[in-house]
């Protein structure tokens, strides 16, 4: 099985599919690589698509310390690229994966081609938090109510296909301590001061009705990252990138084609 060992001796599981310029897909909080099962199919004809399980998820190691951070997760992503001998890759991150993508753009600028940040926030100091009601639903564990935060409708065809594609994730559940470590990393993320240092061509994607990551966050990122482009998705909630997958992926493919690594 394909694993890479990080500089602090954590084993990370990864997969690659397709050929062409490398495209690293970075999952969000509490998600393993299976969240990309549908999405990566849209990119493999043009790109070498790389997916992986962040520490604490899937088949990767799940250390109990030190505290996880989005900056640490970015270093883990670089370990994947180093192992594959990839000097530069496009990056597409969703939710907390977008926060990780921000650090890749800040700390590892020479390794990033085009950068796509979906349903992402600049973090603790300036990011717009979800409402108290949304936070209560997220903390409640109520599946049906949480579904309403993620999708504009519960059982569209993309949602059904998505949940079917995620069945393998159940074989490697996250322990509770790892979920809390991921939550801590998400809460503590704050790249605000350094976002202007991002030089990669950047595309911001956002659901217009996202209660988890309010759409004002996208506007802040666009203002903070020079030259960033913004695409809003009407009726999109936190998982608009699944619900409106075909539209979102077509838009991303166009953006990547306009910013090849060779440019």
Strand partners, 74: none
CA atoms within 13 A of residue 118's CA, in its CB half-sphere: 23
Q: In the chain, what are the domains?
A: 3-258 (3.40.50.1820)
3-state secondary structure the chain: CCEEECCCCCEEEEEEECCCEEEEEECCCCCCHHHHCCHHHHCCCCEEEEEECCCCCCCCCCCCCCCCCHHHHHHHHHHHHHHCCCCCEEEEEECHHHHHHHHHHHHCHHHEEEEEEECCCCECCCCCCCCHHHHHHHHHCCHHHHHHHHCCCCCCHHHHHHHHHCHHHHHCCCCHHHHHHHHHHHHHCECHHHHHHCCCCEEEEEECCCCCCCCHHHHHHHHHCCCCEEEEECCCCCCHHHHCHHHHHHHHHHHHHHCCCCC
| pLDDT above 90 for 263 | no
pLDDT digits (tens, 9 = 90+) for 53-92: 999 999 999 999 999 999 999 999 999 999 999 999 999 9
d(CA 177, CA 199) in angstroms, rounded, equals 36
pLDDT digits (tens, 9 = 90+) for 216-254: 999 999 999 999 999 999 999 999 999 999 999 999 999
Say what the pTM is: 0.97
- In contact, 84 and 60? CB cutoff 8 Å: no
Q: What confidence category does residue 153 fall into, taking pLDDT thresholds of 50, 70 and 90?
A: confident
Share of the chain above pLDDT 70, in %: 99
| pLDDT above 90 for 124 | yes
- In contact, 74 and 108? CB cutoff 8 Å: yes
Give the mean pLDDT of 109-135.
97
- Tell how strand 3-5 and strand 11-17 pair up: antiparallel
Mention every residue, 6+ apart, whose C-beta is less than 8 A from residue 150.
Answer: 212, 237, 238, 239
Q: Which of 19-23, 54-58, 259-263 has the lowest mean pLDDT?
A: 259-263
| pLDDT above 90 for 29 | yes
Mention every residue, 6+ apart, whose C-beta is less than 8 A from residue 134.
Answer: 149, 211, 212
Residue 125 tokens, joined: 């100091």
């Amino acid at each position: 099985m394909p694993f890479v060992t990080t500089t602090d001796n954590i084993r990370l599981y990864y997969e690659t599919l397709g050929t062409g310029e490398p495209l690293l897909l970075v999952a969000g909080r509490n998600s393993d690589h299976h969240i990309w099962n549908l999405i990566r199919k849209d990119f493999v004809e043009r790109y070498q698509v790389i997916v992986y399980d962040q520490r604490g998820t899937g088949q990767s190691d799940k250390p109990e310390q030190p505290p996880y951070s989005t900056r640490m997760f970015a270093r883990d992503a670089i370990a994947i690229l180093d192992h594959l001998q990839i000097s530069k890759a496009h990056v597409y991150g969703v939710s907390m994966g977008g926060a990780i993508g921000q650090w890749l753009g800040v700390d590892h600028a020479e390794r990033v081609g085009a950068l796509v940040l979906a349903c992402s926030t600049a973090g603790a100091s300036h990011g717009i938090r979800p409402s108290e009601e949304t936070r209560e639903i997220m903390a409640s564990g109520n599946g049906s109510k949480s579904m309403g935060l993620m999708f504009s409708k519960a059982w569209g065809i993309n949602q059904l296909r998505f949940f079917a594609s995620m069945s393998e994730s159940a074989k490697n559940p996250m322990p509770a301590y790892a979920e809390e470590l991921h939550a801590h990393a998400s809460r503590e993320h704050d790249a605000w001061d350094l976002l202007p240092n991002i030089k990669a061509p950047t595309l911001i994607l956002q659901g217009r009705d996202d209660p988890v990551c309010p759409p004002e966050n996208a506007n802040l990122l666009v203002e903070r990252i020079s030259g960033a482009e913004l695409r809003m998705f009407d009726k999109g909630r936190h998982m608009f990138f699944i619900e409106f997958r075909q539209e979102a992926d077509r838009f991303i493919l166009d953006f990547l084609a306009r910013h090849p690594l060779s440019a």
